[in-house]
Amino acid sequence: MTSSGMLTKFESKSSRAKGIAFHPKRPWILVSLHSSTIQLWDYRMGTLIDRFEEHDGPVRGIDFHNTQPLFVSGGDDYKIKVWSYQTRRCLFTLNGHLDYVRTVFFHHELPWILSASDDQTIRIWNWQNRSLICTMTGHNHYAMCAQFHPKDDLVVSASLDQSVRVWDISGLRKKHSAPTSTMSFENQIDRANANQTDMFGNTDAVVKFVLEGHDRGVNWVAFHPTMPLIVSAGDDRLVKLWRMSETKAWEVDTCRGHFQNASGCLFHPHQDLILSVGEDKTIRVWDLNKRNSVQSFKRENDRFWVIAAHPEINLFAAGHDNGVMVFKLERERPASTVYQNNLFYITKEKHVKSYDFQKNVESPTLLSLKKFGSPWIPPRTLSYNPAERSILVTSAADGGSYELVNLPRDGSGAIEPTDSRRGTGNSAIFVARNRFAILNTSSQTIDIKDLSNNVTRSFKPPIGTTDIYFGGTGNLLILTPTAIHLYDIQQKKSTAEFAVNGVKYVVWSNDGLYAALLSKHNVTIVSKSLEQMCTLHETIRIKSATWDDTGVLLYSTLNHVKYTLLNGDNGIVRTLDQTVYLVKVKGRNVYCLDRSAKAKILTIDPTEYRFKMSLVRRNYEEMLHIIRTSSLVGQSIIAYLQKKGYPEIALQFVQDPTTRIELAIECGNLDVALEMAKQLDKPKLWSRLSTEALAHGNHQIVEMCYQKLKQFDKLSFLYLVTGDHNKLSRMAKIAEHRGDFTARFQNALYLGEVEDRIQMFKEIDLYPLAYMTAKANGLEEECQTMLEATGLTEEELSMPTIGQPLKPPKAVIPTHKANWPTKATSQSVFEKALLGQMEGLSIEDEPVAANGFADDDVDGGAKDVMMAEGGDDDDAAGWDMGDDIVPEIESSFVNVDSTEAGGPASSEADMWARNSPLAVDHVAGGSFESSMQLLNRQVGAVNFAPLKPRFLEVYQASKTYLPASSGLPPLVNYVRRTIDETDVRKVLPVIPRDLEYLATNDLQRGYDAMKGNKLEEGLRIFRGILHAVLINAVGSDSEVDEAKKLISSASEYAVAMSIELERRKLGSNEAMLKDPKLLKQSLELSAYFTIPKIQVPHRQLALFAAMNWAMKAKNYSSALSFANRILANGQSNKISEAARKYKPQLERNPSDAIEIEFDQFAEFEICAASHTPIYSGTSFEQCTFDGAKYHSKYKGTLCTVCEVCEVGKSGSGLKLFA
């Protein structure tokens, strides 16, 4: 048997390797060498990670701890060393063995190390307290190997004394397990005694079985991971299998084959196989059940010394004379093929299954291929013929074989194929519905066969063909080590060739236009005619690949899923924790087969490659969609866009002005560039912008840049070429101011101003030049003056010939008036689409738009304006985009010396009016007109004069004066009530005398005035409260209610007080008593004074006054009613005492001397204007603001209470809280 199935994954070159250990998790292997070195390799990357050299002489035993970052080694220096691979040093040394240490192993859970030594002992050490805890004696020759049982408290050892021993170490475990707290005293005694008995020998570890059968020394021994089996290898060249029960152990069988000493052996961790190595330079694989040889691998020169298995994955390592090889016994890539929405694959049990990508379900077994090939060699490839629903399977067994079978229509269990056709061949693929191709590598022939397995055509492929793939209809892709060929089956010739090394797999794109060629470390994408699209290199092995529907190739390496576009842009999609074979991508799902041939779904985020793909295809809708829906913003994508030449798109992602300007200049978006340049204001940027703008012919921006850069010469020239004579003159003036003669001369030349030039020459004493200039321009008079001045005559001068006077050309077209016409749009579709999205962000000119609205304010309703601002913001903004930028630029162009674009902005006070629908905020902002308008609409305010103090009060409180630079007026700042707010669109002004203040101060003062009978003052105070509340703002809805209460309360007081004041105006009591008409009126008013809903103590005052007055006028009935009401209010003080006192007298005589219009039993309110009753049921009018009631005839008059609003004028109601 050949080594066909064995796959070497890693090989190292070194001196003789005596010990090997796999790391349980990482792709690491420790190798101990005969040269005293211990090597730590990454077998996946093939790199030497570390070397540990502290042993003296050969190191034979080595083991990783399965959880801690530790390993242990034992050597011919009798030492056992425990190392940390993290700190990369030896932690401590265990001394005790008296001869070579052969093997060392960690216990899988206890802190123990097991060692076997040539001193014939096997020892157990505790590596935590670094002590020897057990010495097992019994072997009477070198102990060559000793291993813990993976689960039980057993040890197995092998010795040159030809025996294998099994030891029971349960006693040792008992002794060293932690004592429990519930342990009784007796137990503790027992425990102590048990320790004492130790002195006689090995009660901790007792020999359980002695296995004799080898007739030479035994080199290695191992437990089976799950079954009660032991395998041993000895110098008798035999590998023996032993079985044990609770009570006995016996030899099962012998594997014969090694023809030199067998040095190592082990059980396959997952499969029923035994592996052994020997000095005959072979690795042999045995069937555990049949004990026959399954596979063998021979090395030419190197004797094998040791073999180790990875505990988890299908990997082995064998040490030999010149290093180590890591290998696996078989390919783990499940044979599979995808047809439309189905995946067909072969499981480890050699069952053919299918997987439906749409339903995400696995089919039952369709077919069993148990009998196909060798039992230990899995099928290699699978090809599917949908027309016939048949499959073509190849296997490496027997030098390559294939089988063609039909799949049953419905899977119903493990069915043996009934009708199959077989043959020899290394590769087999369907090339048409009724044809398949077979490659025979040894004979180098390709046969095309029909479905009855008859050869229809045969030809010789290019030399060295290793594999064949489908190559499109009528074509084969033929792989050789150095090239691939597109082979036309009909013409029997290669139609295209592409040189590429070591291609192992070919994956066609879903549309059949492209093929991905996978080699160990390279992916090459070619078109269907073998033109290379791109190629990329991976340092880690490439395992598989599959195409996205959009033409993105996803491929997997050992630990990543990556993507590549046709243009070679690639990136990582996700990481893998185990190797998988990709078969299909659908949306966010990647379907794959793992090494146990199970279909799995991995979720990925395809955003990145989809974005890049749509960029390549200029599919802007898709890009837009991705931008909108994903969070794909980052430096990398921006850098990518810029690198790929899409600065205009990258521009949309960037906020940072520096990057923005770079991108804007790159994509010629001058508007954005200008905006950013203004923001950053750096000479370098201006100069870049000027160059770019010049190229565009946008001389207005160029002009601005030159202004910023103070490049006067360039400016002058620009004005010259654009024909801007006016500005050129200004430049001349500026040059004069600057005292820059060169510039002045230049400008004069440009302007054709001869006099100025002459003048200048004269100024700098260059008379000859001045004279020449004058002469050349025919200014004889000037020449004469100069001659006279210098005292020379014309004859004394020698003049060159003077041609025509220089005349600067006149601009034919006033270019300066407008920019060079540029192509209408530099915006891509994408940009346009995106602008629609992003306009909200890029609005800076909102104030301008708002200004327009503010003007409307005067005419239209301010409230509506607020609404419009809120609602139509976006529309208005969309509009500004185009129109606002241009005028702004122009305005600054006019001013040559302008350093900053844009004039003054609106002050914060102006913002207040815009930010708020409250009258008070308009007042504070000084926008009296709009606030009046608001009040007029809200509460029907028509007479503002009484509000003037309040208006000015609020206005005065709005600004502070901060002294700044000496000599300039102080800086005005605007006092806010929104102290924490910095957004100028939200700030609001401070309000003096807010609601709380009014309630605690003014209201109390009003009450005091009432109590103190200072009614005029009280009336003033309450009116003041009304005015203050009218121009106010509150912070919440509940405060609005409070404000309303305050208003009505103040209103009632104002009415009450004005009634009493009116009564007092009638005259003195004496006078009234004399005039019955006055008296009647007076009595009525005093009665009405008791009606308004004022505070009870104050009402008592009113009632008391009314009672007294009524008594004086002998209106006892009325007086009685007042007395009753006083008593009903139930307060005990002077007033109620008086009432109580008078009441009996009044009751005796319940009649009124004067009939007054006051029905104590009727419900009525007092008209605030006429101070007469409004009985319930009669119609009345009200003041919208303070709620004072009026007879209907007063509609349209001024409210007497607040003196501001019109009675009966409807309004939306006072707004105090936005």
Partner 1 sequence: MDPYSAEGELINIHSAFHQGQYQEVVNFDTSALSSENAIPARVLKLRAQIALGQARNVFDEVKGESEPELQAVAAYAQLSLGKTDDAVSAIEKLTAENSDNATVQVLGGIVLQAAGKSDEALNLLGMHQGSLDAVALIVQIHLQLNRSDLALKEVSAARRWAQDSLLVNLAESWVGLRVGGDKYQQAFYVFEELAQAPSTSTVFSLVSQAVSELHLGRTEEATAALEQAVQKDPEYSEAIANMIVLSVITGKDPEEYVATLKKVKPNHAFLSDLEEKSVLFDKAATKYHPKITA
For partner 1, the binding residue among 187, 578, 973, 1192 (CB under 8 A) is 973
Q: Does 894 bind partner 1 (CB under 8 A)?
A: no
* Gap between the Cα atoms of 786 and 777, Å rounded: 14
Site for partner 1 in 452-511 (CB under 8 A): none
Tell me whether residue 92 or residue 961 sits nearer to partner 1 (CB atom).
961
Of 915-944, binders to partner 1 (CB under 8 A) are: 926, 928-929, 932, 936, 941-944
Residue 305 makes contact with partner 1 by CB under 8 A: no
| Total residues belonging to the chain | 1218
Q: Which CB sits closer to partner 1, 996 or 1157?
A: 996
Looking at residues 388 to 407 of the shown chain, list those that interact with partner 1 (rule: CB under 8 A).
none
611, 645, 666 from 641: Cα distances, Å:
10, 6, 12
| Of 841 and 979, CB closest to partner 1 | 979
The DSSP line for 990-1040 is --SS-HHHIIIIIHHHHHHHHHTT-HHHHHHHHHHHHHHHHS---SSHHHH
Sole window of 498-506, 899-907, 1011-1019, 1036-1044 interacting with partner 1 (rule: CB under 8 A): 899-907
Residue type, 95: N
Q: Which is nearer to partner 1, 252 or 843 (CB)?
A: 843
How many chain residues touch partner 1 (CB under 8 A)?
71
Residue 887 touches partner 1, criterion: CB under 8 A: no
CA atoms 508, 510, 514, 517: torsion sign? negative
Residue 859 CA neighbour count, 13 Å, CB half? 4
Q: Whole-angstrom Cα distance, residue 1102 to residue 925? A: 43
Residue whose C-alpha is closest to residue 1093's, from 1178, 1166, 1000? 1166
CA 791 to CA 729: how far, in whole Å? 34
Binding test (CB under 8 A) with partner 1, winner from 963, 1130, 1144, 1177: 963
Token pair in block for residue 289 = 């059940």
Contact between 987 and partner 1 by CB under 8 A: the answer reads yes
Answer whether 676's CB lies under 8 Å from 660's CB: yes
Smallest gap from residue 1182 Cβ to partner 1 (A):
15
d(CA 569, CA 643): 11
Closest by CA position to 230, among listed 244, 216, 219: 244
User: What is the widest separation between alpha-carbon atoms in the chain?
Assistant: 155
From residue 1142 to residue 1171, what is the string marking binding to partner 1 with x (rule CB under 8 A)?
A: ---------------------------x--
Could you tell me which of 525, 505, 519, 515 has the C-alpha nearest to residue 380? 505
Name which position in 955, 1053, 1089, 1116 contacts partner 1 (CB under 8 A).
955
Contact 909, 924 (CB under 8 A): yes
Q: Residue 1167 in contact with residue 1128, Cβ under 8 Å?
A: no
Residues 644-703 binding partner 1 (CB under 8 A) are 679, 681
At 62, the amino acid letter reads I
Query: In terms of CB distance, is 791 or 903 closer to partner 1?
Result: 903
Q: Is 1197 in the site for partner 1 (CB under 8 A)?
A: yes
DSSP string of 1134-1175, one letter each residue: HHHHHHHHHHHHHHHS--BSS--S--TTS-EEE-TTT--EEE
Exactly one of 150, 634, 768, 970 binds partner 1 (CB under 8 A); that residue is 970
Q: What amino acid occupies position 462?
A: P
578 is an interface residue for partner 1 by CB under 8 A? no
- Footprint (CB under 8 A) of partner 1, residues 719-738: 736-738
**Binding region for partner 1 (CB under 8 A) out of 657-665, 876-884, 890-898, 1102-1110:** 890-898
Q: Which residue spans within 539-657 are E strands per DSSP?
A: 542-547, 553-557, 560-564, 570-575, 580-586, 589-594, 599-603
User: Nearest to residue 93, comparing CAs of 129, 67, 56, 130?
Assistant: 130
841 binds partner 1 (CB under 8 A): no
Toward partner 1, which CB reaches closer, 459 or 928?
Answer: 928
**Minimum distance from CB of 914 to partner 1 (Å)?**
13
Contact status: 268 vs partner 1 (CB under 8 A): no
| Binding residue for partner 1, selected from 264, 471, 992, 1006, defined by CB under 8 A | 992
When binding is defined by CB under 8 A, the residue of 948, 985, 1077, 1141 that contacts partner 1 is: 948
Between 803 and 904, CB nearer to partner 1: 904
Q: What's phi and psi for 611, nearest 5 deg?
A: -60, -45
Q: Which of 199, 979, 1155, 1177 binds partner 1 (CB under 8 A)?
A: 979
Q: DSSP E strands: which ranges in 931-979?
A: 959-962, 971-974
Question: At closest approach, how far in Å is the CB of 573 from partner 1?
Answer: 42
993 binds partner 1 (CB under 8 A): yes
Segment near partner 1 (CB under 8 A); pick from 206-214, 601-609, 979-987, 1136-1144:
979-987
Match 């002590």 to its residue by tokens.
131
Whole-Å CA distances, 101 to 55, 80, 92? 11, 7, 16
| Nearer Cβ to partner 1 (904/1130) | 904
Position 1206 contacts partner 1 (CB under 8 A): yes
Q: Check binding of 960 to partner 1 (CB under 8 A).
A: yes
Taking CB under 8 A as the binding criterion, the range among 15-23, 806-814, 987-995, 1012-1020 that sits at the site for partner 1 is 987-995
Residues 454 and 421: their CA atoms lie apart, in Å, by: 10
What span, in angstroms and rounded, lies between the C-alpha atoms of 843 and 869? 14
| Least distance CB 86 / partner 1 (angstroms) | 46
How wide is the angle at C-alpha 644 spanned by C-alphas 546 and 658, nearest 5°?
A: 135
Which CB, 882 or 967, lies closer to partner 1? 967
**Residue number, 203 or 898, with CB nearest to partner 1:** 898
Q: Does 967 bind partner 1 (CB under 8 A)?
A: yes
CB 393 within 8 Å of CB 351: no
The verdict on 902 binding partner 1 (CB under 8 A) reads yes
Pick 451 or 942: Cβ nearer partner 1: 942
Question: What is the smallest separation between the CB atom of 905 and partner 1, expressed in angstroms?
Answer: 4
Among 961, 1012, 1016, 1076, the residue binding partner 1 under the rule CB under 8 A is 961
Nearer to partner 1 by C-beta: 520 or 986?
A: 986
Closest contact distance (angstroms) between CB of 1050 and partner 1 is 16
E strands, 370-425, in order:
379-385, 390-395, 401-406, 420-424
Site string for partner 1, 416-445 (x = CB under 8 A): ------------------------------
Please provide the distance, in angstroms rounded to a whole number, between the alpha carbons at the two ends of the chain.
92
Minimum CB–partner distance for residue 1027 and partner 1 (Å): 13
Residue 250 touching partner 1 (CB under 8 A): no
Residue 985 is a binding residue for partner 1 (CB under 8 A): no
Is the CB of 569 or the CB of 1181 nearer to partner 1?
Answer: 1181
Q: What distance in Å separates the CA atoms of residue 925 and residue 97, rounded to the nearest whole number?
A: 97
